Amino acid sequence: MSAVLVIGASRGIGLEFVRQYRAAGDRVIATARDDAGLERLRDLGAEPMRLDVADPLSASGVSWQLDGEKIDVALYVAGVIDRGNATSPPTQQAFDALMHTNVLGLMQVLPQVMPMVEEAGGVFGAMSSAMSQIGAVPGSNSWLYRVSKAALNMAVSSARFNYPRATLVTLDPGWVQTDMGGGAAPLTAEASVRGLRDVLAHLNPDDNGRLIHHDGRRATTW
């Protein structure tokens, strides 16, 4: 039985990770911001933990809440989107909202969690997107979101040098039928997460710091 930590698990892809890892018999610690989210996690048999990654004070308490744990798989799934493009500048409010959740939250949580992942010789996976790839960008739609996920990729790839006994990757779930992805998306959350779990179970040393797609393809552009 593996110990799995899912950060940002109250709905969508995060909740599906909890569902599948619990169905596989793993112990799951999972975070949510509010009582309703915590109750959904509890109903799935997870150990719920209150955390708002957009709040630095809340994010600063991760290590003491997990004191003494060894974590085989840690996942940073929390994320928000802004669909504006480059025809107008983002407001400071929009910029702060995305960057606090998608980037700052990750950078605050990762150093607290990684010693526990290293202790288990485990893996840390952060949810990114194919939209983060600079070399393959097709347009400026979701401009701010693209920037935030490119920054997330850099944060994870840089951090790997400090944690040599663990593997750190960023993950592209594909276009998924969630609140963020919408009903027209071709992938169900179940299919996306099933693919991502297979990716996480079959990483090799060359994958450290890379962006990997849900179907196992390794990203060739940044």
Whether the CB-CB separation of 78 and 105 falls below 8 Å is answered with: yes
Percent of the chain whose predicted confidence (pLDDT) is above 70 = 99
pLDDT over threshold 80, residue 150: yes
Whether residue 219 lies inside any domain: the answer is no
94 has a pLDDT exceeding 80: yes
Position 221 confidence tier, pLDDT thresholds 50, 70, 90: low
205, part of any domain? yes
Rg (CA), the chain: 16
Q: Does any domain span residue 95?
A: yes
pLDDT tens-digit series, residues 28-76 = 999 999 999 999 999 999 999 999 999 999 999 999 999 999 999 999 9
Number of domains in the chain: 1
* 165 lies in some domain: yes
Answer whether residue 185 shows pLDDT above 80: no
**What CATH number has the domain bearing residue 194?**
3.40.50.720
- Asked whether residue 222 is assigned to any structural domain, the reply reads no
* DSSP-derived secondary structure for 43-83: HTT-EEEE--TTSHHHHTTHHHHTTT---SEEEE-------
Nearest to 124 by CA among 163, 168, 90: 168
pLDDT for res 222: 65
Q: Is residue 20 part of a domain?
A: yes
User: What pLDDT is stored for residue 186 in this prediction?
Assistant: 74
- Other beta carbons less than 10 A from residue 70's beta carbon: 15
Residue 114 lies in a domain: yes
Residues 6+ apart with CB under 8 A from 180: 12, 79, 80, 81
**Domain containing 83: what range?**
3-213
Give the pLDDT confidence score for residue 133 in this predicted structure: 85
Global confidence as pTM: 0.94
Does residue 220 lie in a domain region? no
